[in-house]
Structure 1
Amino acid sequence: MIKIYAPASIGNLNVGFDVLGAAISPIDGSLLGDCITIQSSKKFELKVLGSFKNDLPKNELDNIVWKCWNYFCKKINKKINIKITLEKNMPIGSGLGSSACSIVAALIAINNFLKKPLQNSELLILMGKLEGIISGEIHYDNVAPCYLGGLQLIINQKKYLSEKIPNFTNWLWIVGWPGIKISTSQARNILPKKYSKETCIQHSKNLAGFIHASYTKNSKLASTLMQDLIAEPYRTCLLPNFIKTKKKIIEVGALSCGISGSGPSIFAITKNTDMAVKISEIIKNNYFKNKIDGFVKICKIDTIGAREIG
């Protein structure tokens, strides 16, 4: 038997649409992500547990974990009889890499169980392909950090698919899921097909400056450049109370605030634990649909990524 945990992630980070992503873990030591357990079996079986199991498709063939198994079998040209148990702990359509958690954990678990017939690069390509089934486009800004950990820059070249870049270890990342769902495809379809030359130039300046600031350890510059010119102006209509909540978060002194991935989750950054708690309360009181369904977590960058757990 083998059990793999894959952590939640924040895509885009405001400044890096589709090219930046960060794996995150709560500072209290709890797990924020999905788990996959694999056992020997005489036939293929898929069992689903976890807080959000009822949000998954009822038809097994529509489950992304079944698709992971099916694609893996095709990749190695062999049908694998195993029992897979998915612990679906991440809300679907949350903007925290929920589908990536399931995909990454499933593919790593299958590969490890079979004594690693696929190399890491092959696995990552397969992860991106399966993520594309969910979102409508292949992108790696959730699967790469979820798999490899840390802050990942997506380059998407043959030998350089994704590269880990330095992160600010004293940053606390507060993430809040308001208890509603937004599909990735819905959030992508709302974006314009074309952007002005001025927007493209400024976006390039911000992204290049952020990468520079990350390598030179200039925290102030990095946080200043974390501006979303590509998605946030168009996606706020999907996020009730986002603008008001962000304004309050920035007013109390957060370094940055934005939409996590496609939303509806949001993130904020601070260096101060007391401020992180204050930001958590702002999110709960101003952004949640109700205080029962949503959650807020104070996190740090997860530098490990997906791993085997007991």
Structure 2
Amino acid sequence: MSSAPTKITRAFAPASIGNVSLGFDLLGAALAPIDGERLGDIVEVSNAKAFSLSVDGRFADRLPKGQDNNIVTRCYDFFQQALISHNKPPLKVKMHLHKALPIGSGLGSSASSIVAAFYALNQHADVAFDKDTLLLMMGELEGQISGSIHYDNVAPSYLGGMTLMTGQSAPVCSSLPVFDDWYWVTCYSGLSVSTAAARNILPRQYELGTTLNFGRQVAVFIHALHSGDRALAASVMKDVIAEEHRKTLLPNFDAARRYSESQGALAFGISGSGPTVFALVDTLECAQQIKKWLDEHYIQNEDGFSHISKLDTQGACEL
């Protein structure tokens, strides 16, 4: 008598832009390259007698050595404890991570692995936890990597689109309207910037005028999205909190901004903590011109790459 087939669950979680320039720790956006390439990590969960983790992918060799030091193993341990604390049966599984995003890239690399892992585990456990509970778990694990709990990468990677963090336990975030005719040109230079180091470079206090400007920009941006005012939304996409300090870590940042704006970019900024940058444009021709320049002048080594994307409105999904 043949045995039952092994249950396998595969999940994909897209890359994301944290902060979206104006919304430090408050805004995030998921990315979907227009050429159809999947930009993000994949995690596979399958039934097994004992836990193990295997890893492959372009950037697998950059991960910490040993499965106990991998964030996916920590996701598994966290999820198991959550199941037990909610009187649910623990999972007997092994996991596999396909690491397609570079570490320290500003594309939500750790968030993508975390989201894909938790999404796959939750689906494998017949959706043991609701969205807000799972998102809180994701934020907790992301905080262990970056040094503070924030959701501007895990939330869009999980839920898709552009998300606004509420600061509440439920709902953790709100989905925002987006303009589907905007193109997002992202370019990863090939360098690595630690999220924790990029946070430590920031001032501990800001002038009152700066904080008022920050709040005004976020409020105007949210209003513009809901009212469909593209010009107004783009006009306030300026980072008054982090860019001045973090751009010192990014070679050729100012030149990239100047060129992008000269070609008609609506906005230009740092994706998350960097070194990835993004240019927001409203025509494909403009996007292609900026991508070509970034490929030639912003990429620093063979690890670098660029994409023209729209926002990924689906988020994490089962494959």
Shift of 1:159: 2.4
In the alignment, what sits opposite 2:65? Answer: 58
In the alignment, what sits opposite 1:28? Answer: 35
Whole-angstrom CA distance in 2 between matches of 1:64 and 1:117: 21
Once the two structures are overlaid, the 10-residue window that deviates more, 150-159 or 73-82, is: 73-82
CA contact (8 A) 2:52 2:67 kept: no
Quick check: 1:117 aligned with 2:128?
yes
1:161-172 map, 5 Å:
161-172=172-183
In the alignment, what sits opposite 2:295? Answer: 284
CA contact (8 A) 1:46 1:86 kept: yes
1:301 to 284, 300, 311: 311
Structure 1 spans left out of the alignment, 5+ residues: none
The one-letter amino acid paired with 2:105 is: S
- For the aligned residue pairs, the C-alpha RMSD in angstroms reads 0.9
The one-letter amino acid paired with 2:163 is: Q
Sequence identity (%)? 45
Shift of 1:158: 2.8
CA contact (8 A) 2:132 2:169 kept: no
Shift of 1:3: 0.6
Quick check: 1:260 aligned with 2:258?
no
Provide, for residues 161-219 of structure 1, a one-character-per-residue CA deviation record: whole Å limited to 9, x for no partner.
10001011100000000111001001000000000001011111111100010001110
SS across alignment from 1:175? strand
1:137-176 map, 5 Å:
137-176=148-187
SS across alignment from 2:269? strand
Moved over 6 A (4+): none
Shift of 1:284: 1.3
Whole-angstrom CA distance in 2 between matches of 1:156 and 1:61: 31
SS across alignment from 1:61? helix
2:218 to 207, 213, 220: 207
In the alignment, what sits opposite 1:102? Answer: 113
Structure 2 spans left out of the alignment, 5+ residues: 1-7
Whole-angstrom CA distance in 1 between matches of 2:162 and 2:131: 18
CA contact (8 A) 2:91 2:125 kept: no
The one-letter amino acid paired with 2:274 is: G
Q: TM-score, normalised by structure 2?
A: 0.95
The one-letter amino acid paired with 1:190 is: I
Whole-angstrom CA distance in 2 between matches of 1:70 and 1:159: 24
Whole-angstrom CA distance in 2 between matches of 1:55 and 1:275: 34
Shift of 1:79: 4.7
In the alignment, what sits opposite 1:48? Answer: 55
SS across alignment from 1:168? coil
In the alignment, what sits opposite 2:25? Answer: 18
Whole-angstrom CA distance in 2 between matches of 1:5 and 1:293: 22
Report how many residues are paired: 308
SS across alignment from 1:92? coil
CA contact (8 A) 2:111 2:142 kept: yes
In the alignment, what sits opposite 2:257? Answer: 246
Shift of 1:281: 1.1
The one-letter amino acid paired with 2:11 is: I
Q: TM-score, normalised by structure 1?
A: 0.98
Provide, for residues 101-141 of structure 1, a one-character-per-residue CA deviation record: whole Å limited to 9, x for no partner.
00000001011111121111110000000000010000000
Whole-angstrom CA distance in 2 between matches of 1:30 and 1:285: 21
Provide, for residues 30-89 of structure 1, a one-character-per-residue CA deviation record: whole Å limited to 9, x for no partner.
100000111111110100010000000102111000000011111112653211010000
SS across alignment from 1:31? coil
Whole-angstrom CA distance in 2 between matches of 1:67 and 1:167: 33
Whole-angstrom CA distance in 2 between matches of 1:180 and 1:199: 30
In the alignment, what sits opposite 1:136? Answer: 147
The one-letter amino acid paired with 1:254 is: A
